[in-house]
Amino acid sequence: MPGFELFGDLERKEVNDVLDNGVIMRYGFDGMRKGHWKAKELEQELQNTFQSKHVQLVSSGTAAVSVALASAGVGAGDEVIMPTFTFVASFEAIMILGAIPILVDIDDTLGLNPEAVEKAITPKTKAIMVVQMCGSMAHMDALQAISNKHNILLVEDACQAIGGTYKGKPLGSIGDLGCFSFDFVKTITCGEGGAVVTNNEEYYTNADHYSDHGHDHIGNDRGAETHPFLGYNFRISELHAAVGLAQVKRLPEFLEIQKRNFDSLRNALSEIPEVTFRTVPEGGVESCAFLNFFLPDIETSRKVIEAFKEDGVDVCWNYYDNNWHYIRKWDHLKDLKSLFPISTEVKKGLAYLKNAEFPKSDHYIERNISCLIKLSWTENEVKERASKMVVCIKRALKN
């Protein structure tokens, strides 16, 4: 991760195909495009990759979450349970629909804590959104059981987890709907792009229409298409899809490199008794996009991060002090800093955040360090990096 590190001839070929025929929009202009339909081809490839019946490409991972929820009828006043540890896009995608994000604790998987989810369910709960952060998964069996028990949606935000699996199923294909991101720093990239994945034909049809102004996409005259319901513009372009089409064909290559680099770093850190690793549920296989490990306390974590910076060990973070990925510094959400008035229903629904505390989440996030795994590292660079990381951690533990 990320796939842009290994752009090559295949990506150039697919993009040049689009430029040569001159049609960069995914819909319409049938006579001009000389049979090139990159978005359709990419959706077909992703159906195989995700072992799912339906894939709808959209403009981003954030759009994928909004489109997925809207396609299943989630909207004004509905509650969507989500984790305290995720990217800000998760709650943004819920709120744009007028729905209410209900944040609950994580556990040592760095994913949703099933006990916290169970306690958060109310008559307004419409969906549980599990976020498969940093290439791994939450306790999916327990979350699926809760979803079934209460007859509510299970939605997977697998934007950071392409290539991970649970009991043989690709992450993102387990819930009622799955969401993926193909932005610039993902394992496969379109530059900007995302996908909604589902086995439910109704949700797929809704996603197809909703993401393109409500167009029904029947016939070959775009101007004559009907609009069964309101929609918005979450389309991907043919240029972005062309890049993704090349990248998805290379996914096995990328995953092999990620795993090799991940294993080298993990094996080195395993020699330090004070280092422990996130729990991966039995039957789960990480995508190896990130290496996540825990240290004894927050003071040590902060010392290690500073040591990494001083020694040139990049792309490692302690999310407790990060503005984008953890509830602690989401003041714009807690204070509802919006450019436009937020509905009274959402204001009331989010009032709990003003005084909410998440000590169980703090316990894991403050001690966690997450390191992105690059595809472009040479074998020597990985060895050198592992050595530096060990030295930095041991030094921090002594001080």
Residue 164: pLDDT above 90? yes
186, 219, 250: which is the final residue of a domain?
250
Cβ pair 291, 275 in contact under 8 A? no
Closest CA to 5 of 380, 377, 383: 377
- The verdict on 69 and 201 lying in the same domain is yes
Closest CA to 156 of 107, 90, 255, 57: 90
Does the N-terminal peptide bond of residue 252 adopt cis geometry, omega within 30 degrees of 0? no
**Domain termination site, one of 196, 227, 250:** 250
Q: Are 57 and 245 in contact (CB under 8 A)?
A: no
Q: How far apart are CA 70 and CA 49, in angstroms?
A: 24
CA pair distance 206, 96, nearest whole angstrom: 17
Whole-number average pLDDT of the chain = 97
Q: Are the beta carbons of 51 and 199 closer than 8 angstroms? A: no
Number of other residues whose CB lies within 10 A of the CB of residue 357: 8
Q: Which of 88, 91, 111 is nearest to 101 (CA)?
A: 91
- Give the pLDDT band (50/70/90) at residue 44: very high
Residue 336: CB atoms within 10 A of its CB come to 15
Same-domain status, 353 and 207: no
- Please enumerate in sequence order all residues whose Cβ is within 8 A of that of 306, keeping only pairs 6 or more positions apart, or say none: none
Strands (DSSP E) contained in 41-105 are: 54-58, 79-83, 100-104
Do 289 and 354 fall into the same domain?
A: yes
pLDDT by residue (tens digit) across 229-241? 999 999 999 999 9
| pTM assigned to the model | 0.97
In this structure, what token pair is assigned to residue 103? Answer: 């944040």
* Spatial distance between the Cα atoms of 372 and 258, rounded to a whole number of angstroms: 10
Say whether pLDDT at 180 is over 90. yes
Residue 265 has pLDDT above 90, yes or no: yes
Cα(258)–Cα(7) distance, rounded to whole angstroms? Answer: 16
Instruction: Provide the CATH number for the domain around residue 75.
Output: 3.40.640.10
* Burial group, residue 399, by CB count within 10 angstroms (0-12, 13-18, 19+): exposed
| Model confidence at 189: pLDDT above 90 | yes
What tens digit of pLDDT does each residue of 66-78 get? 999 999 999 999 9
Q: What are 339-376's pLDDT values in tens digits?
A: 999 999 999 999 999 999 999 999 999 999 999 999 99
* Residues spanned by the domain of 148: 3-250
Q: Cβ neighbours of residue 295 under 8 Å, at least 6 residues apart?
A: 274, 275, 301, 304, 367, 369, 393, 396, 397
The whole-number pLDDT of residue 1 equals 80
Please work out, in degrees rounded to the nearest 5, the angle formed at the alpha carbon of residue 148 by the alpha carbons of 146 and 151.
105
Residues 301 and 228 in one domain: no
Q: The CATH number of the domain where 332 resides is what?
A: 3.90.1150.10
Give yes or no: residues 234 and 335 share one domain: no
**Residue 226, SS3?**
coil
135: Cα separation from own chain's centroid: 9
Instruction: State the burial class of residue 245 (Cβ atoms within 10 Å of its Cβ: 0-12, 13-18, 19+).
Output: buried
**Same domain, residue pair 76 and 210:** yes
pLDDT > 90? residue 399: no
Q: What gap in Å lies between CA 171 and CA 175, rounded to an integer?
A: 9
Question: Domains in the chain: how many in total?
Answer: 2
C-alpha gyration radius of the chain: 21
Q: Confirm whether 249 is a catalytic residue.
A: no
CB atoms within 10 A of CB 300: 18
Do 121 and 154 sit in the same domain of this protein? Answer: yes
Sign of the torsion formed by the C-alpha atoms of 96, 99, 100 and 106: negative
pLDDT at residue 346, as a whole number: 97
Q: Of 235, 250, 265, which residue constitutes the final position of a domain?
A: 250
Task: Please tell me the distance from the alpha carbon of residue 52 to that of residue 38, in angstroms, as a whole number.
Answer: 19
- Would you state the structure tokens that stand for residue 91, as one six-digit string? 């709650």
Give yes or no: residues 257 and 245 share one domain: no
What is the distance between the alpha carbons of residues 249 and 265, in angstroms, rounded to a whole number?
27
Q: How far apart are CA 390 and CA 394, in angstroms?
A: 6
For tokens 């309101």, what's the residue?
Answer: 230
Tens digit of pLDDT for each residue in 300-315? Answer: 999 999 999 999 999 9
Same domain, 237 and 309: no
Residue 127 is inside which H or E element, if any?
strand 125-131
Q: Nearest Cα to 212, choosing from 59, 45, 69?
A: 59
Q: Which residue of the set 186, 259, 360, 398 is catalytic?
A: 186
95 and 163 inside one domain: yes
pLDDT at 306: 97
Identify whether residues 70 and 215 lie together within a single domain.
yes
The pLDDT tens digits for 250-264 are 999 999 999 999 999
- Joined together, the tokens standing for residue 48 give 């195989």
- For residues 95 and 123, membership in a common domain is answered with yes
Scanning the structure block, which residue is given the tokens 């996908």? 195
